[in-house]
Amino acid sequence: MTEVLQPEILISEISNLLRDDRHVAIGAASPIPGSAALLAEEERRNSDSKLKVTILHSQKFNNFTDGSRELFDASAQGRIDTFFLGGVQIDGEANINLVGTGRYPKLEKRFSGSFGSALMYFVVPKIILFREEHTPRTLVKKVDFISAPGISPPNVYRPGGPKYLITNKALFSFNKKDKNFKIEKINPEFTLDEVIKSTGFEFKTNKNLKYFNMPSQKRIDILRNLIAPKVLNFYPQFAKKLWFN
Amino acid sequence: MVNFDLMTVETIASKVEDNSLIGIPADYSGVPMSVTIEIIKRKKRNLRLYCLPLTTIQGDMLIGSGCVKEIETAAVTLGEYGQAPRFQDAIENSKIKIKDSTCPALHAQLQATEKSVPFMPLRGIIGSDLYHNRKDWSVIDNPMKTHSKDDEKIVILPAVQLDVLIFHAAKADINGNVQIGRRRELATLAHASKKVYVTVEEIVNEDFFECELKASATLPSLYIDGISLSKNGAWPCGLTDYYTLDSEEMNKYAKAAKHQETFDTYMENFISQSFYSNNLI
């Protein structure tokens, strides 16, 4: 068995979360989710339940022809099952902040901005929050700025919302009713205590806590031989660093 | 001979007036870098950038060069090359005003202008701090009562009219129609702008409207006020089917832009060299 790289374990775990989807879209700066979606697509190529993947920053894997608004229109129409969102900060009620830390608008540290999160988070049924860095500075008690809220009152149209949060240390599910995260899986490199210490919010523990799965040799072969060259096209920096160095 | 106003990149830059609201295309839809450099050279001031829906090196350079008063955007980023340093510095030190938005809102505000209606509703947004910081946005009760619960709250956004739009594209035909491919957001921007100027890689001796397939990928000349030939006009950004983003230059920029002094030196070099050939045919 060849040595499996940490990002490959994450790609594999994320790919498992896309099992029942028909159409997954990938937004800006998401090489790991993008690789996971292409992996899931490849593994289901010869099955009855095919997966469609739209990668916005690619020419070939972008299924849209109506300009960059089509992602949002298609999402609002319910044509996208899963989308990924990140955050400078994510809090225990699944509020996400993509704008910066400190007091708005001046802020101590400004980040890029909210992108499409303030609509996508409301309308895509399965939002997977992805933030590789799992520390008290990224997973906080309360975000400094809400780019998009985790939950909404009943008089706001909201067929979508957060379902999972995945980091380099753990996978959590989100419970809308209880407004909290529950840990589902842990990276075997870390202990539960370490995960608790590196999380700024409280989460529900799990009697049936599982470990991240090691991807099979077959999956690693698909990833390295078929997916990596595709990823090189639209996330060249990422692909070069991981697979072509 | 062409049947439209062929102008120079310098002329296009001179059409941008101080204080104007200027449409900024995203990194994937034809960034007009050659004109941007001319705007910086001409020391245009107090520009208000309206990004559809984000900007990369173009916005960061304009901000670092002191050309910008205000920016309305869903993001400013150098993508794989990191955060946009001059933008960050400008926000953290209150040098420019920001109207933080979200991609679909930036589209919807221009779509309202396309249709000449005063506002556009959009779902989402409610409960975000974006909303709390936008005095120009409102929440209303859905007057159509179409939601299953009949007291749905929904955001309305004002129509936005741009003063000027500049973008870079692959080709213009002899009648001044421009190929935009599937980058239809360029059409949205153009429809909502008082003036539209385009730089192109080449001018071809044909009429796109003679072929249905080409016509469907075309922005008609009726929306366009001037075209300039500008080879490599998007560099160091990429242009679909022509060239990819210049990774080396982006790394160089990302590093230089970290501090104002090194940014200034980088820009002096950038301006003094002639990267763009600008031949009138």
CATH number, position A95: 3.40.1080.10
A243 and A224 part of one domain: yes
> Given an 8 Å threshold on Cβ–Cβ distance, is B76 in contact with A237?
no
What pLDDT sits at residue B53?
97
CB count within 10 Å of CB B83 equals 19
Q: Is the pLDDT of residue B279 over 60?
A: no
Chain A hits for B182, CB-CB cut-off 8 Å, are 64-67
A73 and A123 part of one domain: no
Question: To the nearest whole number, what is the mean pLDDT of chain B?
Answer: 95
Q: Following CA atoms A117, B57, B240, B172 in sequence, which dihedral angle do they give, to the nearest 10 degrees? A: 110
A231 and A189 part of one domain: no
A111 and A190 part of one domain: yes
**pLDDT grade for A28, boundaries at 50, 70 and 90:** confident
Contacts of B24 (CB under 8 A, 6+ apart): B49, B50, B51, B52, B55, B58, B59, B73
A238 and A133 part of one domain: no
ipTM value for the complex: 0.95
A78: left (phi over 0), alpha (psi -120 to 50) or beta: left
A93 and A170 part of one domain: yes
Query: Is the CB of residue A120 less than 8 Å away from at least one CB of chain B?
Result: yes
Interface test with B, best of A58, A123, A151, A157 (most B CBs within 10 A): A157
What pLDDT sits at residue B280?
45
Rounded to whole angstroms, the Cα distance separating B95 from A54 reads 38
Contacts of B147-154 with CB under 8 Å at 24 or more apart are B147/A157, B149/A154, B149/A155, B151/A155, B152/A155, B152/A156, B152/A157, B153/A155, B153/A156, B153/B126, B154/A157, B154/B121, B154/B122, B154/B123, B154/B126
Q: B166 is written with which tokens?
A: 């500049």
Q: B233 is written with which tokens?
A: 């006009």
> Given an 8 Å threshold on Cβ–Cβ distance, is A112 in contact with B151?
no
A89 and A199 part of one domain: yes
A200 and A139 part of one domain: yes
What pLDDT sits at residue B150?
65
A13 and A55 part of one domain: yes
Strand ranges of the sheet holding A82-85, from the earlier edge strand across to the other edge? A52-55, A23-26, A82-85, A126-130, A162-166, A170-175, A180-186, A210-211
**A175-189 per-residue burial string, b: 16 or more CB within 10 A, e: under 16:** eeeeebbebbbbbee
pLDDT for A118-173, tens place per residue?
999 999 999 999 999 999 999 999 999 999 999 999 999 999 999 999 999 999 99
Counting residues of chain A whose pLDDT is more than 90, the rounded percentage is 91
Which residues 5-44 of A have a C-beta within 8 angstroms of B?
28-29
Cα–Cα nearest to B161, from B11, B19, B20, B13: B20
Rounded to whole angstroms, the Cα distance separating A90 from A135 reads 11
pLDDT for A176-218, tens place per residue?
999 999 999 999 999 999 999 999 999 999 999 999 999 999 9
> Given an 8 Å threshold on Cβ–Cβ distance, is A29 in contact with B54?
no
Half-sphere exposure of residue B88, counting CA atoms within 13 Å on the CB side?
A: 19
Domains and CATH numbers, chain B: 9-101+161-272 (3.40.1080.10), 119-158 (no CATH)
Q: A153 is written with which tokens?
A: 């009152």
Reported as type and span, the H/E element at residue A71 is helix A70-76
A91 and A202 part of one domain: yes
Domain membership of residue A35 as a residue range: 1-80+215-245
Which of B81, B83, B107 has the CB atom closest to A69's CB atom?
B107
A220 and A238 part of one domain: yes
CB count within 10 Å of CB B140 equals 12
Number of domains in chain A: 2
CB count within 10 Å of CB A72 equals 24
Chain A hits for B123, CB-CB cut-off 8 Å, are 76, 119, 122-123, 157
A98 and A70 part of one domain: no
Q: Is the pLDDT of residue B90 over 90?
A: yes
Rounded to whole angstroms, the Cα distance separating B69 from B44 reads 11
**pLDDT grade for B169, boundaries at 50, 70 and 90:** very high
Give Dmax over CA atoms of chain B in angstroms.
62
Q: Is the pLDDT of residue B281 over 80?
A: no
Which residues 189-218 of B have a C-beta within 8 angstroms of A?
none
Counting residues of chain B whose pLDDT is more than 70, the rounded percentage is 97
